[in-house]
Amino acid sequence: MPRRARVHFVPLKSSLVNLPLSIYGPLLQKSVRPQSLAVHLTLVEEEGSKSKNGKVEAFVGWTGMASASSLAHFNAGSSSSSFETIEIDPQFAQDLGLAQGSLVEIGLLHDLPFAKSVGTEPVSSDDWEIIELHAGHVESTLLSQVRVAKVGQEIDVWVLGRTRVRLLVGSLDVSSKTNAALLTTDTEISIAPKPHRRGAASTKGRAPAEPSSETSSKPQTHPKSTLLRVLPSRLTAPTPEYSGPELLGYVSKSTFRKLDAGADSPGGLYKKARVKRLSPPVDPSAGPSTSNDATPAPRILSAGKEAVTEEKSEDDAETIYVGVLDGIPDRSIVLPVLTHGIEEWDMVRLVLVLASERRGTDESSSSSKPSPPAQRLAGVDEIINKCIDFARHNFVLHSTAAAVHGVTGLLLTGRPGAGKTSIVRAVARLLEYDQTLLTYTLYADASAISEKPISAIKAQFDYWFDKAMWHRPAILILDDVDKLLGAEMEHTASFRARHIVELFLARFAPAARAAPLNSRGVLLIATASSSAALHPLLMQSQVFAETVNVMPPGKEGRKMPRLHTRDANIFVMLTRPQILSRIVEDRMRATPDLSEDAEAPLNYTALAMQTEGYLATDLQDLVARAVHQAAMRSKDKEDTVVHISPVASTVTTDTIDPQVLTSADFEEAHKGFTPLSLRDVKLEKSETAWADIGGLGDTKRILRETLEWPTKYGPIFAQSPLRLRSGLLLYGYPGCGKTLLASAVAKECGLNFISVKGPEILNKYIGASEKSVRELFERAQAAKPCVLFFDEFDSIAPKRGHDSTGVTDRVVNQMLTQMDGAEGLEGVYVLAATSRPDLIDSALLRPGRLDKSVFCNMPTAEERKDILSAVARKVALAPEVDLQHAAEATEGFSGADLQALLYNAHLEAVHESIARGPAVERSSAAADEASVEYKIIGSAGVGVASKAEQMALQRRLQQIRAKTRRPESTSRKGKGRAELPDKVHLVTQEHIRRVLRSARPSVAPEEQARLARIYSAFVDDRSGELPLPPEANGVGIRASLA
C-alpha cells in the first residue's frame, strides 16, 4: 500500500529525492541499491484544494539517503496522524507541479526496465548553450543526478553544482505501462540541438557599415551562434593592419564555417556579427561588484540565463566584423582592439547577423608564430622543463578522457627565497605561449586568506575552481599553500586546520564524494616549504601527483645534459655562477652607467665559492649591495683624473667610468651580510685554534683530513670516485679534549658550526623529538658546508630497546634516516663526542653514518708537556719553571686537569701579589674616598644638615669630580704621557709545586681501568651486534625520562 508524506523543499541539486524514515529503514535492511529503484509520486488532492493540471504524477530516483526532516519528525515524537516528509529540490519540484507541504503518495517500483537509449530535448535555447559549453561535465555527472526517465517528464541536471539545465524526455527504446525506465551506465542519452531562433525583423535597420561585393547565396531562418574564448593577440600571429572605424575579430577556418554554413572559401572575407561577454565567476574577496550586470555572483552561466529576452541581450552586445586568421585554435577568437568591457581570456557569445553582406579585404596577415618571452632565470632549465613536461602530459591525458575527476597537481617545494614563485610564473608563461595549449593562468596567494573565516575560505576555494573551469585550459597556481593547508600545530586549534583541508579536498581531490566534478583541462601547481609542512590528509589524497624539490644553488656550473626521470620526487640543484652572472647582466641592462671592469672581469666561480648556502634571493641582495658599494666608491672619487707632464708641463684630463663593478665591491658587500637561510640558525663562534690544543696529534690530523681538506681542496676531491667520509665519532676519557677539538674545528676548518647538547632535543611529546632532529639537520643543510656537533651523543642515540618509553628509539631511527639511507647528506659533516661508545646504537657506527671512530686517550708524559706548553701561552711563567717536571709529576691527569693546574698556579700568584702590597692600594683607595670641600652660597634659611645628608652630598660631589677628571686623564694620555704598565703576575715553580700537593686527577684510577676495559671491548671485540653493557662492569639498563 502506498505511503503518504508531505513535500519538503531541500536544495539537493538533482532529480532525486530523500525518502521518509519509515520507507528508508526497510530498504536499508534489505540492502536495496538506489540504482535499481524508482519512486512514483502522485499528488493527493486534499479538502479545499484543486489541482489545475488534473492528476499530477512523477517518476524520480532515490538518493540512497533518508529525509532529515522526517528523522526530526520521528525524534520529536509527533502523533501518528501527522505525515512524514519527503525531501526534493524546490526547482525540480515546481517543474513537476509539486508545492511545499503538498501531500503525495509514494510508490516503489522495483521492476522497471533499463533503458538503452533515451532521446531528450533542451527546454530552452539557453539550456542548449550551457550543454554545449559543458558537454563533458554533463555527460560525467548526469547519472549521479538522474536515475529515472519518463516520456513527457522533465529531468534537471545541475552544471558545476550551480546552473540548472532542463531536459524534456521525448522517447525511450523500451516499452512499459508507465512509459518510464531506469538509467544505467550502458544507457545512451541523446540531446537534440535547440539553437536560438530570431526573426528577420530583428535585423531590420542594421545594414552593414559598408556595401559588400557579394551577398549570401542561401537564405537563413535563424542566426548561427557559438561560445568563444578571447585569446590575447600577443599569443597568435600578427593580425592584419587596419585603420578603419569597424571593430575586427579573427577566428579559425572551422569556426568560421560553423558560423556561416554557406562560406565555401572563408579566406579574405569578413562577416558582420554581434559579440556579447559572458559574466565570469565573481571573486568573493573583491568586495561588491561595480558592474551593471544584475546577475547574482554564484551563478556561473548567468549570461546565458539572461539571454531569454532578445532585447536585453542585444543591448549589451557589440557589432564587429569576423574574419579568418591562421594559427587560431577552434572555439577561440582574437580581438585586436578590446571593447565593451571584454577582456583577455573572457568567454563571449558570437552571433552572426542575418542577411549581412560580406566584404573583401586586401590585407594579408603574417604566418609567423609568436615567440615566448626570453627566459631570464638562470640555472633552472631542468626544473622548468620538468614542470612543462608534466603539464603537457596531463593536458594530453585530459583531452583523450571523457571526464577527469579531481584536479591533477604538481608540488614545488623549497626553502623561502629559493625562487619557487619565479619558477612557477615562468612555467605558466611558457605554457601560455604554447600554441598547442594556450593556457590561462590564475595566480593566488594562499597565505593571504589563511586567517579569514571558514566560510570565506570555502567561497574562495569555489571561486578558484570555477574561475579555472571557466577559462580552461587553465593553470591554477597556489603560492605558499602550506600557510593555508599546513599540518596541525600544538598551539593552534586542530579542528580549523582539518576543516580547511577537508573543504579543499572536497573541491579538488580526485576521490571527492561530495561534488563529483569534471575538471578536465585544469591543472594545479602549488608551492610549499616542504612536503612535511602540509597536512597529512592533503598528501594522502593524492592531489599532487608529482613533487619537485628546489635545492639551494650549487657552486659548480653544471654543463651536463638535462636529466629526464620518472621519479615522483625530483631533487634539482641550481648553479650559483649562472645565477650570479644573470643577475649582474640584468643589473647592467637596467643601469646604463654600470659596467664591469674590462681589465679584471668578475670571477663568478670564485664568488660562488664565497656564497655557499646562499639562495637565489640572497644572491640578488648580495649583487644589490655590491652595486651600492660601487656607487659609493665612484661618488667618493673625482669624476676626472688630472695628468701633469713633467717635460711639456701640459695638463690632460681623462673621464673615468662613474660606476665600475669590481671584486672589491663584492668583498665589501659580504661584510655584515647574513643570508636568509642563516638568519634563524645559531652558529657557534670559537677562538680556539689547533695550536691551543696540546697532544692528540693523530686525532687532529684525522679531523683536518676529513673536514678541512675537502673544503680547501674542493676541485681535487671532486675528482675522487670514492665516497668521502662525512661522520666522525670522538670517544675517550672525560676531560681529554673531545669538546675542545670540536671548538677548534669551528675556527680552523672554515665551516659553519652548529653545536648540540644531547639532552636538548629530547621532548616528552610524541613526535616532537623526531621533529627536533629533522629541523636540526635542515638547519645544517641550510648552513652548509656545516659541521653538526653532538656532545654527549650517548644520551640521545643509545641502543634501541633500552627503555620503556621508546622516545630515544624514535630519535635513533630519525637520525639513521637523516644521516644515510633515503635522505643522505651533502655538505654536512656529523661530529659526535662521547665517553661511552658502548652505549651508542650499533647501526649509527656502521660505514655511511659515523664512518670512523677516533680515540682520545689519556695523555702521555710528552703529550702532557705539550698540553702545559699550550696552556702556558695564556699564563705568564717565570723563566725557571720546568714544565717537564710538572708533566712527569702529573701521571693520570687529563688535559682538563693540566689546564686547571696552571690556572690554579696563576691564582696562587695573584693571591700572593695581593698579600704583599695592600698599603699602596689602601692609600690610593683612601685618596679616592677623601671628602670634597664645598661652600654653600645663598644658604639663608637652610638648617644644619644631618650626617646622612652630608654623606649623600659627598657621594654626589665625588661622582661629579670623577666625571670631570676622566676627560683630563684621556687628553693627557693623548699628548704622549706614558701609561702605567699593567701588573704581571709571574707563575713560579714554587706556585706549581704548591698546587701539585693538593691536585688530584678528575678520573680516578679505578674509573680509568673500568673505562679502559670498555674501550678495549669496543675496539677489539667490535661486531655488528654489540651486546648491552654487562652488569659486572657496573652499567645497567637505563630508563629514559623523556
- Banded model confidence at residue 415, pLDDT cuts 50, 70, 90: confident
Residue 445 has pLDDT above 90, yes or no: yes
Question: Residue 722: what residue type?
Answer: L
Cα–chain center distance at 703: 38
- Percentage of the chain with pLDDT > 70? 75
- Banded model confidence at residue 546, pLDDT cuts 50, 70, 90: very high
Residue 26 has pLDDT above 80, yes or no: yes
Q: What is the pLDDT of residue 568?
A: 42
Is residue 61 within 8 Å of residue 142, measured between CB atoms? no
Q: Which residues pair with 989 in a beta bridge?
A: none
Q: What is the pLDDT of residue 427?
A: 93
Residue 924 has pLDDT above 60, yes or no: no
Model pLDDT for residues 823-850, shown as the tens digit of each residue: 456 778 888 998 888 888 888 888 778 8
Q: What is the pLDDT of residue 575?
A: 64
Q: What is the mean pLDDT of the chain?
A: 77
Virtual torsion, Cα 934, 940, 944, 945, nearest 10 deg: -50
Q: Which of 304-318, 430-444, 499-513 bottoms out in mean pLDDT, i.e. has the lowest?
A: 304-318
**Residue 994 half-sphere exposure toward CB, CA atoms < 13 A:** 14
Model pLDDT for residues 682-695, shown as the tens digit of each residue: 666 777 888 888 88
Residue 536 has pLDDT above 50, yes or no: yes
Q: What is the pLDDT of residue 569?
A: 45
Best-predicted range by mean pLDDT (478-487, 667-676, 900-909): 478-487
Question: How far apart are alpha carbons 38 and 176 in whole angstroms?
Answer: 14
Question: How far apart are alpha carbons 3 and 87 in whole angstroms?
Answer: 15
| Higher pLDDT pick, 875 / 522 | 522
Residue 299 has pLDDT above 50, yes or no: no
CB-based burial, 493-530: b 16+ in 10 Å, e otherwise: eeeebeebbbbbbebbbbebeebbbbbbbbbbbbbbbe
- Give the cell for residue 693: 690544543
**Residue 107 half-sphere exposure toward CB, CA atoms < 13 A:** 13
Q: 3-class secondary structure for 720-772? A: CCCCCCCEEEEEECCCCCHHHHHHHHHHHCCCEEEEEEHHHHCCCCCCHHHHH
Q: What is the pLDDT of residue 357?
A: 52
Neighbours of 250 (CB within 10 A): 27
Mean pLDDT value of segment 134-157:
86
Compute the chain's Rg from CA coordinates: 43
Is residue 322 within 8 Å of residue 266, measured between CB atoms? no
Residue 378 has pLDDT above 60, yes or no: yes
Q: What is the pLDDT of residue 389?
A: 94
Q: Which of 168-177, 262-271, 708-717 bottoms out in mean pLDDT, i.e. has the lowest?
A: 262-271
Mean pLDDT value of segment 452-459:
92
| Higher pLDDT pick, 454 / 785 | 454
Q: What is the pLDDT of residue 561?
A: 31
Q: Which of 128-142, 245-259, 805-819, 929-943 bottoms out in mean pLDDT, i.e. has the lowest?
A: 929-943
Residue 277 has pLDDT above 50, yes or no: yes
- Banded model confidence at residue 369, pLDDT cuts 50, 70, 90: low
DSSP state, residue 707: I
Mean pLDDT value of segment 1004-1033:
71
- Banded model confidence at residue 447, pLDDT cuts 50, 70, 90: very high
**Residue 632 half-sphere exposure toward CB, CA atoms < 13 A:** 11
Is residue 170 within 8 Å of residue 120, measured between CB atoms? yes
Mean pLDDT value of segment 133-160:
86
Model pLDDT for residues 621-670, shown as the tens digit of each residue: 888 888 888 888 877 664 444 444 444 444 444 444 557 888 888 888 87
First-last CA distance in the chain: 69
Mean pLDDT value of segment 729-747:
86
Q: What is the pLDDT of residue 293?
A: 42
Which residues, in sequence order, are CB contacts of 260 under 8 Å at separation 6+?
A: 216, 224, 266, 271, 352
Model pLDDT for residues 83-98, shown as the tens digit of each residue: 888 999 998 898 888 8
Q: What is the pLDDT of residue 750?
A: 72
Model pLDDT for residues 739-770, shown as the tens digit of each residue: 888 888 877 777 788 888 767 777 777 778 88
Question: Residue 633: what residue type?
Answer: R
Residue 516 has pLDDT above 80, yes or no: no
DSSP state, residue 815: H
Question: How far apart are alpha carbons 499 and 626 in whole angstroms?
Answer: 48
- Nearest by Cα to 70 from 33, 106, 34: 106
Mean pLDDT value of segment 463-478:
93
- Give the cell for residue 433: 605561449
Mean pLDDT value of segment 185-210:
58
Residue 891 has pLDDT above 50, yes or no: yes
DSSP 201-253: GGGTT---SS--SB--SS--SS--EEEEEEE-GGGSPPPPP--SSS-EEEE-H
Question: How far apart are alpha carbons 726 and 848 in whole angstroms?
Answer: 8
Q: Which of 317-321, 571-575, 808-812 bottoms out in mean pLDDT, i.e. has the lowest?
A: 571-575
Mean pLDDT value of segment 986-999:
84
- Nearest by Cα to 899 from 919, 861, 917, 873: 873
Mean pLDDT value of segment 986-1002:
85
Tell me how far CA of residue 484 lies from CA of 460, 477, 478, 624, 859, in angstroms: 12, 14, 10, 32, 58
Q: Which of 112-116, 486-490, 664-668, 1023-1027 bottoms out in mean pLDDT, i.e. has the lowest?
A: 1023-1027
* Domains delineated in the chain: 3-191 (3.10.330.10), 221-287+297-360 (2.40.40.20), 381-554 (3.40.50.300), 577-676 (1.10.8.60), 690-857 (3.40.50.300)
Residue 326 has pLDDT above 70, yes or no: yes
Mean pLDDT value of segment 474-501:
86
Is residue 418 within 8 Å of residue 424, measured between CB atoms? no
- Nearest by Cα to 706 from 607, 510, 853, 899: 853
- Nearest by Cα to 16 from 147, 209, 136: 147
DSSP state, residue 778: H
Q: What is the pLDDT of residue 391?
A: 94
Residue 902 has pLDDT above 50, yes or no: yes
Mean pLDDT value of segment 895-918:
83
Which residues, in sequence order, are CB contacts of 950 under 8 Å at separation 6+?
A: none
